[in-house]
Amino acid sequence: MKLTIQVNEGPYQHQASDTAYQFTKAALEKGHEIFRVFFYHDGVNNGTRLTTPPQDDRNVVKRWSELAAQHNLDLVVCVAAAQRRGIADPDEARRNGKDADNIAPGFRISGLGQLVEGGIQSDRLVVFGD
Amino acid sequence: MSEIKKFMYVNRKAPYGTIYAWESLEVVLIGAAFDQNVSLAFIDDGVFQLTADQDTSGSGFKNFSPTYAALGDYGVTKIYVERESLEERGLSLDDLQQLTWEDEDEDYAEKDSIRLVSRAELAEILAEQDVLFNF
């Protein structure tokens, strides 16, 4: 089955990103195709490489980056939600006159059309959030 | 586009305590360009999103409620409001904005977009959808 995953909450405060990660990993292990993982609302905060959790805890951001590298996942951060919350790649930083970017490896910033397309192209849209 | 799917955006939260309502509306507006069969549902505190005469001047939030009136122009003409959610909050249809759309097939006759449905009816409508966006 072809799946699009939507993550609506940031790391650590809510379990949504953890559950989405576990679900995505399990779906891949079962042979399902992940068309896209789309990060929306505070979910865009899963895409900052500046996160530094204590060493004895899971690293939510790094875990997504590693899964993306392993399975060539398309991790998309919503541009409008990202701008509000200070998530930027080099292009976005330059365009908005910022002095730094913080996008984590494996993530890319794009528009909401990518979420709608995920809903159209996939057999199921699976949403993780509050 | 290969096929037309039934897309429903389910709005469950009050308009200004969190950003879900506004960011839901942003998806609806972008999604309208994709020519799908789109409808919106308002349940629980989500019914407050459609109340008339919203005034956010004291809170500093942007009052985005006028945007709902533009949905008809975006081809979004089916807006389901759950009756029980309204009643549980002491609201009725009279407390909501009047949302309309123009029917091209009937000489641009103005029609109401809001459809008041019971919880049981909405459950059936939800079951018919291909894609559910929950906000």
Q: A121 in helix, strand or coil?
A: helix
Which residue type is seen at A95?
R
In chain B, where are the structural domains located? 6-134
Q: How confident is the model at residue B2 (pLDDT cuts 50, 70, 90)?
A: low
Overall domain count for chain A = 1
How much of chain B exceeds pLDDT 90, in percent?
Answer: 97
The residue from A67, A76, A78, A115 that is catalytic is A78
> Where in the sequence is the domain holding A38, given as residue range(s)?
2-128
Q: Which CATH number fits domain B6-134: 3.40.1260.10, 3.30.70.260, 3.40.50.261, 3.10.580.10?
A: 3.40.1260.10
End-to-end CA distance of chain A: 25
How far is A41 from A117, CA to CA, in rounded Å?
A: 18
For B67, phi then psi, to 5°, come to -60, -30
CA distance, residue B123 to nearest chain A CA (Å): 19
Contact A7, A107 (CB under 8 A): no
pLDDT tens digits, B55-91: 999 999 999 999 999 999 999 999 999 999 999 999 9
User: Is A47 in contact with A77 (CB distance < 8 Å)?
Assistant: yes
What confidence tens digit (pLDDT) does each residue in A26-77 have? Answer: 999 999 999 999 999 999 999 999 999 999 999 999 999 999 999 999 999 9
Instruction: Decide: helix, strand or coil at residue B102.
Output: strand
Mean pLDDT of chain B: 95
CATH number at residue A102: 3.40.1260.10
Task: Residue B89: name the closest of B134, B51, B40, B41 by CA.
Answer: B51
> Left (φ > 0), alpha (ψ -120 to 50) or beta: where does B40 sit?
beta
Residue of chain B whose Cα is closest to the Cα of A85: B19
Kind of pairing, strands B100-103 and B109-112? antiparallel
Determine, for residues B3 and A120 on separate chains, whether the beta-carbon distance falls below 8 Å: yes
Cα dist. B98→A128, B34, B55, B70 in Å?
33, 26, 17, 11
| Whole-prediction pTM | 0.92
Which chain B residues have a beta carbon less than 8 Å from that of A116? Answer: 7, 27, 30-31, 34, 36
Contact call for A41 and B36, based on CB within 8 A: no
**Interchain proximity A41–B131, CB inside 8 Å:** no
Q: Does B129 touch chain A (CB under 8 A)?
A: no
Which amino acid is it at A127?
Answer: V
ipTM (interface pTM): 0.88
CB contact under 8 A, A112 and B26: yes
* Among A16-20, A114-118, B1-5, B57-61, the least confident range: B1-5
